[in-house]
Amino acid sequence: MIKAIITDLDGTLLPRGGSISSGTLEAFRLAGNKGCIRIIATGRNLYSALKILPAGFPIDYLVFSSGAGTLRWSDRRLLSAHHLSMSETREIASYLWEYNINFTIQREIPDNHYFYYTTLYPIHPDYQKRLATYRPFGSPIDSPAGIQGKATQFVMILDALQLRLLEKIRSDLAGYSVVRSTSPLDNRAIWLEIFADGIHKGNSCQTLLKKLNINCKEVAGLGNDYNDIDFLDICAEAYLVANAPVNLQRHYKLVKSDKEEGFTEFISKVL
């Protein structure tokens, strides 16, 4: 019997350029009426997630910033927050500086919509769009010494040449959690995010489930991208929406796309 569901947000519940459908809301309510714990696990920071999810949204927990923070929805209580120390943040920044990779450094939770940023290299269009979207919250830095305080994560947007560095970065920064995802801005660009060691959606969801005394054998998950694998792989029943990358689809069960209310189909299958 399924006692909890975990779902991604962008590209799973929320279609690009669209909104969360009334059918999806009703499916969440149905799950709640059946006593099922409802968890959204998103890469969005808290500020960005709350812009999409209104106060009465029918969930129980929000895992945000790809697992760096967990929020109890009913009273907005922050249950956990994980950070890179200032020395770790400067160390990673120094490493990335050598490769001329532009990055943002998201500051401490709950204010991790504030960030430092660099302009070291011909700027990727998706990076430009990100900076323009969040310009009021950004502060430029011209060296790692400009970093003051802890950080939630690094965000990099890789061009075709830099993409070759993906595995090298993962290897060189093996003491940290390096997570790949697809841009929610253009659905094409490759994002690479760096967190404190062990931080990703899967571990944070597993910690939450343990506190709730729910076994992973009693959990179903729905995602759409690489950064969802970590939580999908702890679930007894794991699904992808049909708009997920093709090379992921062979590993999981499929439901309809985000634009075709794949979440409602998912709920009908697992509950």
Beta strands in 82-170 (DSSP E): 103-106, 115-117, 138-140, 153-158
* Rounded distance between C-alpha atoms, residue 27 and residue 20, angstroms: 11
* Rounded distance between C-alpha atoms, residue 117 and residue 142, angstroms: 9
**Both structure tokens of 261:** 């209310």
Using one digit for the tens of pLDDT, what is the confidence trace for 161-212? 777 888 899 999 999 999 988 776 676 778 899 999 999 999 999 999 999 9
| pTM of the shown model | 0.94
Higher-confidence residue of 268 and 127: namely 268
Residues forming CATH 3.40.50.1000 domain(s) in the chain: 4-81+199-270
Using one digit for the tens of pLDDT, what is the confidence trace for 48-58? 999 999 999 99
- Cβ neighbours, 10 Å, residue 259: 15
Please determine, looking at this structure, whether the domain spanning 86-195 carries the CATH number 3.20.20.70: no
Where is 262: in which H helix or E strand? helix 262-270
Higher-confidence residue of 6 and 125: namely 6
Percent of the chain with pLDDT over 90: 84
Nearest to 268 by CA among 242, 246, 243, 237: 237
Lowest mean pLDDT among 18-22, 59-63, 122-126, 154-158: 122-126
Fold classification of 4-81+199-270 (topology level): Rossmann fold (3.40.50)
Residues forming CATH 3.30.1240.10 domain(s) in the chain: 86-195
Percent of the chain with pLDDT over 70: 99
pLDDT > 80? residue 79: yes
Handedness of CA 89, 164, 178, 266 (dihedral sign): positive
pLDDT of 162 reads: 78
